[in-house]
A and B are shown apart, each in its own frame.
Chain A
Amino acid sequence: MPKDIAAWIHISENNAVTVFTGKVEMGQNIRTSLAQQVAEELHVPVASIAMIMGDTDRTPWDAGTFGSRTTPTMGPQLRAAAASARDLLVATAAQQWKVSPTALSAADGRITDSKSRQSITYGQLMHGQQLVKLIESAPPLTPVVDWKIAGTPVPKVDGRAFVTGRHKYSADLSHPDMLFGKVLRPSGFKATLTSLDTKAAESIPGVIVVHDGDFVAVAAADSATAERALRAIKAKWSVPPQPSNADLFSYLKDHVTASRRDEPHIVGSVDRALSDADVKLSQTYTVQYIAHAPLEPRAALAEWQGDKLTVYTGTQRPFAVRDELADAFHISSDKVRVLVPDTGSAYGGKHTGDAAVEAARIAKAAGKPVKLVWTREEEFTWAYFRPAGVIDIRSGAHKDGTIVAWEFHNYNSGPAGIGTPYNVANQKIEFHPVDSPLRQGSYRSLAAAANHFARESHMDELAHAVAMDSLDFRLKNLDDDRLRAVFQAAADKFGWRNRKPSATRGFGIAGGFEKGGYVATCAEVEIVGGQNVHIRRVVEAFDCGPVINPNGLRNQIMGGIVQGIGGALFEAIRFSNGRILNPYFSEYRVPRFADAPEIEIILMDRRDKPPMGAGETPLIGLAPAVGNAIFSATGIRLRSLPMVPNGLPSKRA
């Protein structure tokens, strides 16, 4: 990351502050929370700050907006830059006025000498010149306990643009000479084009057909004509036989990639401990592929000017997409500019530049700017999925509730959150990468959702096996203070001790630690008509260190819980032979109003700890808490996500 202040912050003569960051806004509210942190350290009003985000020509290089990294890494970076800038401004004024810097104060965008009553705005002082200074190694940061702007519920800085429809997402942009592009999609994955007839499409006035290997696309001056041209193309594809949901889990276990195997985490001897254990359990958990289904589908507007390419697109990784475009067109990265308008969400699903590459390829052939917007069907089919996976657990415990053995194998879904926070003397934990039959990639919380589902469901099973309360069993095996604290806080607010399960009401608890955040989730479910599961109430306690913006944070946590309901209960990609069988919202069910429970959120606000991200971890406790609640009502243990795509199974596990 650049060390000079000027790369991050600029103050204009009229005292407007511009902040540059390669991070992007896609609903997680960092445009506001980062501005708050700069305002706090620079001593300016939030309203005076404009954030330039995700523009590869103007913002410092950034790996991308993922992994809950903005708050722990970009926040401190901007705070340090802003505090250093304030130091520079004070020093400059002191020099100008020939007084000691300690006699001056900086507030509300101006520097004041209380003795002489002289006062000057930052802008007047610097005349719009660059802030030439390196960021200090120990900048005078405001202690968290003294925060006045950070830590408060500042409203979303551009909220009005969203409620008026004025905000321009990638798909809303236009260019006077622009054409609309459409890509001809193969009839299945891994398809090769065997015959192509584009005559009818080419005969439509104004239509351009692009054919490059297996890539076939059209462009026209309006979207209706582009769609008509696409329908007029006759193509035949050859699609190789591929697996389906029916053989998915055996396929995953049979296709472990030998090339890359992480070393297993081994402590003690699981086998020896199991031979002494009073209670032994061995269970398998599975998770299906699911789709991010961001409401804004992938879109891009690409324009070539000579050999320079400019692309507007919604992506989490503008600099990686810049490099992807440079690679695809064999130009150097400095010939490519990627700009990311605030995006209609991503959830880990917009790491790649697929639409950007397609739009740029068509624009290159057409010699005009091209806008390309994926359809919902394309979004469900040609993006990538949250990995499916199989998780095998073997465990053992003593009658008194001490866990003595823990063996955990994850096939394909990923290693995030694979470890156990509980004290177990004998452990073997291993991730087994697999050649996935479907294109897969990151998804909000990565594999932590799957691994927590397996672990926290299994913990509930173990608690029942040793006849202990599920919360007491966890606390007995847990030393981590912060995790204990969220469990206690959630349980207290939920009324865990007073719960009264019945055949139609169930209560469950789960929790964990991931990406620096601690979460505990309690769920109450109602079994309706003996078949349907309704989540009635969720209480979640979350500790991500000090809270930067409680309003935005609550929104993120609530969203994580609601999104988690989909993967927990009903979301699954159905596929067969290289085709997605349910690529529509009518066939791929996502959580709706009726699915949202009453949600209570407890923010721990640990001001003595460093701030951590909150976009992902609040999601991971939901599925196991709900699964455990279903068991408490029905005695049915559900070990596959989604748990009730077609209602409760009738047979008891």
Chain B
Amino acid sequence: MAPIVLLVNGTERRVEAASDESLLSVLRDRLQMTGTKYGCGEGQCGACTVLIDGRPVRSCLTLASQVAGRKITTIEGLEHDGKLHPVQEAFLHEEAFQCGYCTSGMIMSTVGFLASTPKPTEDEIKRHMDGNICRCGTYPRIVQAVARAAEMARKE
């Protein structure tokens, strides 16, 4: 166990964690930030996606100690003063989820993706999002939600 300082959603968080502990485990079990989900632990499903310095990463394969001091954004950090992030709005509008368990990861992947690709084609959306699993099979609506979010961001 060693102390680590993480910069999560703009706030410094000090935690004691094992040196081999994943960021996912620290977020969920030590900081009680459970919006980020465990789905597989092997970087295959994307449920645990968070942003590190704006880029989507799989928190289950990222050691917490590796990202000390870097800017970490989780699903809890998207909403500001009760106002949803455009990507959240788009997912809600399209109702692009069923059980909702993949949704945090889908939204974080989308936020990271649109930051680098503001005008994605449908193929680009599918290719980028292919690392995220929605076992309920909501993919066509998620594609629509991503496209809608891109459009909303351009209008803002």
Query: Contact: B42 with A165, CB < 8 Å?
Result: no
Residues of B within 8 A of A599 (CB): 140
Closest to A595 in B: B139
Known contacts A295-B133, A558-B138; A28/B38 CB under 8 A: no
Q: List B107-156 residues whose CB lies under 8 Å from chain A.
A: 107, 125-127, 129-130, 132-143
Residues of B within 8 A of A166 (CB): 35
Query: Contact: A29 with B137, CB < 8 Å?
Result: no
A373 CA to B41 CA, complexed, in Å: 12
Query: Contact: A27 with B136, CB < 8 Å?
Result: yes
Which single member of A159, A296, A551, A552 contacts B99 (CB below 8 Å)? A296
Q: List 22 A-B contacts (CB under 8 A).
A: A27-B99, A163-B92, A164-B75, A165-B74, A165-B103, A169-B101, A171-B34, A223-B25, A224-B20, A295-B102, A295-B134, A295-B135, A295-B136, A296-B101, A345-B99, A345-B101, A373-B38, A556-B98, A558-B138, A585-B39, A593-B130, A596-B137
- Contact of B44 with A by CB under 8 A: yes
Pick from B74, B98, B134 the residue with the most CB of A within 10 Å. Answer: B98
A544 CA to B141 CA, complexed, in Å: 22
Residues of B within 8 A of A592 (CB): 130, 133, 139
Known contacts A180-B29, A555-B98; A375/B41 CB under 8 A: yes
Query: Contact: B34 with A228, CB < 8 Å?
Result: no
- Contact of B53 with A by CB under 8 A: no
Known A168-B34, A297-B38, A345-B99; 5 more pairs at CB < 8 Å: A26-B99, A295-B101, A344-B101, A555-B138, A563-B136
Query: Contact: B137 with A551, CB < 8 Å?
Result: no
- Contact of A160 with B by CB under 8 A: yes
Pick from B17, B38, B104, B136 the residue with the most CB of A within 10 Å. Answer: B136
Closest to A29 in B: B98
The binding surface of chain B is classed by DSSP as: loop
Which single member of B88, B135, B143 contacts A294 (CB below 8 Å)? B135
A165 CA to B104 CA, complexed, in Å: 6
Residues of chain A touching chain B, judged by Cβ–Cβ distance below 8 Å, are 26-29, 155-156, 159-169, 171-172, 174, 180, 222-225, 228, 293-297, 342-345, 347, 373, 375-376, 551-552, 555-556, 558-563, 565, 584-586, 590-596, 598-599
Q: List B30-79 residues whose CB lies under 8 Å from chain A.
A: 30, 32, 34-42, 44-45, 47, 74-76, 78-79
Query: Contact: B40 with A585, CB < 8 Å?
Result: yes
Query: Contact: B140 with A558, CB < 8 Å?
Result: yes
Interface size on B, as a range, is 35 or more
Known contacts A159-B92, A163-B91, A558-B140; A585/B44 CB under 8 A: yes
Query: Contact: A163 with B107, CB < 8 Å?
Result: yes
- Contact of B100 with A by CB under 8 A: yes
A224 CA to B20 CA, complexed, in Å: 9
Query: Contact: B75 with A555, CB < 8 Å?
Result: no
Minimum Cβ distance to chain B for residue A564 (Å):
8
Query: Contact: B100 with A586, CB < 8 Å?
Result: no
A615 CA to B143 CA, complexed, in Å: 22
Minimum Cβ distance to chain A for residue B145 (Å):
10
- Contact of B95 with A by CB under 8 A: yes
Minimum Cβ distance to chain B for residue A490 (Å):
18
Known contacts A162-B100, A224-B21, A584-B44; A559/B95 CB under 8 A: no
A560 CA to B136 CA, complexed, in Å: 8
Residues of A within 8 A of B143 (CB): 593, 596
Residues of A within 8 A of B39 (CB): 295-297, 376, 585
Closest to A596 in B: B139
Closest to B136 in A: A559
Query: Contact: B133 with A585, CB < 8 Å?
Result: yes
Minimum Cβ distance to chain B for residue A496 (Å):
22
Minimum Cβ distance to chain A for residue B47 (Å):
6
Residues of A within 8 A of B30 (CB): 222
Query: Contact: A164 with B76, CB < 8 Å?
Result: yes
A339 CA to B130 CA, complexed, in Å: 34
Minimum Cβ distance to chain B for residue A297 (Å):
7
Closest to A343 in B: B99
Query: Contact: A591 with B101, CB < 8 Å?
Result: no
Minimum Cβ distance to chain B for residue A66 (Å):
15
Residues of A within 8 A of B136 (CB): 27, 295, 345, 555, 559, 563
- The 3 lowest CB-CB distance pairs between A and B, nearest first, are A165-B35, A562-B137, A27-B99
Minimum Cβ distance to chain B for residue A497 (Å):
26
Residues of A within 8 A of B18 (CB): 224-225, 228
Residues of A within 8 A of B25 (CB): 223-224
Closest to B39 in A: A295
Minimum Cβ distance to chain B for residue A209 (Å):
19
Minimum Cβ distance to chain B for residue A272 (Å):
45
Residues of A within 8 A of B44 (CB): 584-586
A559 CA to B95 CA, complexed, in Å: 13
Closest to A293 in B: B135
A593 CA to B75 CA, complexed, in Å: 21
Which single member of B21, B36, B45, B126 contacts A165 (CB below 8 Å)? B36
Query: Contact: B95 with A159, CB < 8 Å?
Result: yes
Minimum Cβ distance to chain B for residue A635 (Å):
30
Query: Contact: B42 with A555, CB < 8 Å?
Result: no
Minimum Cβ distance to chain A for residue B22 (Å):
9
A556 CA to B132 CA, complexed, in Å: 19
Minimum Cβ distance to chain A for residue B16 (Å):
9
Known contacts A164-B35, A164-B76; A558/B141 CB under 8 A: yes
Closest to B143 in A: A593
